[in-house]
Chain A
Amino acid sequence: MSQIQIKDQIPTGELMSSGHFACPGCGGSLAMRLVLKGLGPKTMVALPACCWTIVAGPWPQSSVNIPLYHSPFETAAAVASGIRAALDMQGDQETTVLAWAGDGGTFDIGLQALSGAAERNENILYVCYDNEAYMNTGIQRSSATPWGAWTTTTPAGHPEARPKKDILAIMAAHRIPYAATASVAYPVDLIRKVEKARAIRGTRFLHVIAPCPPGWKTSDDETIELARMAVLTKIFPLMEVEDGQTWRFSMEHPGDPVEPYIKRQGRFSHLGPREIGQIQLDVDARWKMLERRVEMGI
């Protein structure tokens, strides 16, 4: 069938409600909607400070129809581990404990808690929705911000000078049973990974690219297109790592040129052809490395 049909593969239940406070076209809110479709109602969330703190709604409201604990910025994995322990005490093996954090809360301040939990192989699912900066507090760079990007702390004159941290490799290095990437532009793949992760015991990690119109300086309606281009350009390849050793690509990545992706985003508007060429080289080099990982394991 030439028309790609996905409706029959997406669970119809909705655990997220309208009226939430995400910006128009927020990739992070769609990410939660899709992940919850994959997990179902038997889920509890540990939520550190991030945009989602706001998206979840002010008391007495909640935009998700499952228990959700607001917790300090650096503690997602620790709080999730605690909830897990409590459920275990109650003999509840059925409920999935989901830690849901932004890139700042994952790559930076929450990394210690996450590493600890992973090292203990806590029975939790940790999802990082990655909008590539601290968006909730006004677009400050994080270690997930890509090279060359503008943020309020990496202004156009001194844009982000370090490459994006390789969080998937870091998590794989913990030898957790499952780590993967996903994109809101590929809901079937995303939900399949969530369902797969749900059935595994131990620490599971999912890294979801989630475009952010105000932070990326893009139009509200481009979110899915950008999340798709990120994958097709190999900037954000869709992958799975089992037991930290078996690396796999989830689909064919055609390797579209990065330029159109970069050019569509205001946060890269100061970059000239040379810098864009550099990004392409970096993407190509990283791809080679990923191919090696797929071939040989770490």
Chain B
Amino acid sequence: MPEKRPDSEMVHGVPEVAVSSTTTMANRTGSWKYTRPVFQDMVAPCNATCAIGVDIEGTMNLVREGRLVEARELLLRENPMPATTGRICDHPCESSCNRKSFDQPVAVHSVERMLGDLALEDPLPAAVVRIRTGKAAVIGSGPAGLACAYHLVRMGYEVSVFEGDEEPGGTLRYRVPEFQLPRVVLDREIERMRALGVDIRCGVRLGRQLTWKYLERFDTVFLATGAHRSRALGVEGENLPGIQYGLDFLHEVGAGRAPEIGARVVVVGGDSVALDCARTALRLGAEVQLVFWGECEKLAADPAEVLEAEREGVEILYQTVPLAIRGSEQMAEEGAREPANTISAGISGAPTGMPMGLECIRMTLEKPDGYGGDPIPAEDGRQVLSAQTVIIAMGEEPDFDLLPLDLKHDQVRVAVDELGRTSKSAVFAGGGIVEEPHTIAHALGSGKRAAIGMDLYMRERAGEKVEAPSLAGLRYGRVGNFSITRYRGDDPVRRTGEVNEVAGVERINMAHFAPMPRRVERRMKPSDREGFEEVNLGLTQKEAVAEATRCFNCGTCNQCEMCLIFCPDVAITRREGDKKFSISYKYCKGCGVCAVECPRGAISMTREGL
């Protein structure tokens, strides 16, 4: 055996048997990097497209984790009526959903509806403690007015809502057909707002029972009277008896009075309101044709609803332009068929049941096989559709007769800024009377923006030194709606290094997702649809939770730990107690693997040292 050399005898400074005694942690290999990963939560595209400004991503994530109570609290922060929007919102969030590039968009509205319905079963909440001195008046109890009142009450204000109709809800109660939105759902959502402290006084119409003078006792007023004046069709014969306007027709039905219509009804229009008129008339027992001047794709309604209308039996005549309405004499002259029975026995004396006709012309494309051709009347395209009732649904506009003179407006809209401020101090406006699409989500969103504006206004008036918030910072992304949670600064979702940019599909690493088809809501079979029972039955809770697991959770870290698992330098760790992730820049070499592998784009690479 060779003699053992003393330990001190080193070769090139290394002992004969070199045994390591320490780790490599003394090497600050992080100094090699020139780019630096940072946890940077971004905005999901759906959040930035929802006109209400709901934290959809956060809600989906909580549902995915099975935390349904927290999920609906998060939802209710921004949206006072999720059971309603889950049913009738046209869900623009889904058209921007990143998942559509993978398989199909997440059915956000179905999950929202499930959470909303869950909240309906809850006991009513306690009233919010009034901590503010200001008092606000809201005119109109449609979604815009209700949202404004809801958010102000939640901030601690006293709010009175004045509603001209007999019951609250506006268009939702009186015009959206019950087969789309059961009144029990609307009732319960409004009941919850009332429980929180929203005071709604019905049968009080501004301009009649209520004066502008009286309103002076409030610190601020929110005008949300909606758009209820029907646009005219503008053809000869429009003033004949037997003609109804869609909004009035639906209002009668909504108010529980069955309006008189004939057995054959022709609806003229090109949007979801026209479709609702047709489907309502159908339910009253009529045979219904819908006349629309454009092509199928141009019909401004959810294609699924168009399909439902057709399945129920509405005949849609596309590319058909109305020319004139003919009275009964004219029709008789032309030998039209005998008058049929009226359907509902309504207000007596109305000359219903008389035959009338809608003269129209079918259009065709100039160059039927090519693009760019203009529509031209088809040869032999002229026809007269006989009916006893013609319903005109050409869109709606607001009625500004009772606005004060110094409030700036044009024919169809009150001018407001992004906080809903009108030209008149203390007066705010939103919903159907301002320039924005006529949807429930926009109405709820504008009510929320105005609530923020009114809060700022009232605090200033109360002598508080108010720091104006960065409005751009309240928006989701650059163009999304304001987040009241951001405004209040009490986000329950833990976020790191938030940047207000949308996490587009290029930031999603699809390798970390498995295909899963979108859940389809059950609908009642057309043959089973009776009266005004709800058609769309939604998803079960289990299905909706499964649907939420399809969400990518775009832009916000959901602690999946992919970054931690794939780091070749063991530079990402998670603390025991608060589970917080951290990157050790002492050792991170800036390879960027974590940023690429993050399934949802919650890590960004930034220039080192900048």
Contacts and interface: CB of A to CB of B under 8 A. Distances in A.
Interface of A: 1-7, 10, 14, 16-27, 29-30, 33, 57, 59-63, 65, 184-185, 187, 213, 219-225, 228
Interface string B551-563: 0110000011110
Contacts of B571: 18
A261 to B, nearest CB: 13
B584 interface: yes
B25 A19 contact: yes
A27 B568 contact: yes
Interface stretch (B27-35, B139-147, B476-484): B27-35
B6 interface: no
A221 B592 contact: yes
B593 A223 contact: yes
Interface of B: 14, 18-29, 32-33, 64, 511-516, 549-550, 552-553, 559-562, 564-571, 584, 586-587, 589-593, 595-597, 599, 605
A18 B586 CA distance: 9
Contacts of B565: 6-7, 10, 187
Contacts of A6: 561-562, 565
B549 A14 contact: no
B27 A19 contact: yes
Contacts of B21: 60
A1 B512 CA distance: 11
Contact of A5 (B32, B511, B560): B560
A41 to B, nearest CB: 14
Interface majority SS (helix, strand, loop, mixed), chain B: loop
22 contacts: A1-B549, A3-B513, A3-B552, A4-B513, A7-B561, A18-B587, A19-B23, A19-B27, A19-B586, A21-B29, A25-B593, A26-B568, A30-B566, A33-B570, A60-B22, A62-B22, A63-B24, A187-B565, A221-B591, A223-B591, A224-B597, A225-B596
Contact of A33 (B29, B568, B592): B568
A220 B592 contact: yes
A2 B23 contact: no
B601 to A, nearest CB: 13
A20 B593 contact: no
B596 A221 contact: yes
B24 A57 contact: yes
Contacts of B512: 3-4
B588 to A, nearest CB: 8
Residue picked from A23, A25, A27, A219, most chain B C-beta under 10 Å: A25
Contacts of B22: 60-62
A61 B27 contact: yes
B24 A59 contact: no
A222 B14 CA distance: 38
The 7 lowest CB-CB distance pairs between A and B, nearest first, are A221-B592, A18-B587, A25-B591, A19-B24, A24-B591, A24-B589, A62-B20
Given A2-B550, A3-B512, A18-B570, 17 more contacts: A3-B599, A5-B560, A7-B564, A17-B23, A18-B571, A21-B29, A24-B568, A25-B568, A25-B591, A33-B568, A61-B22, A187-B565, A220-B589, A220-B590, A221-B591, A221-B596, A228-B511
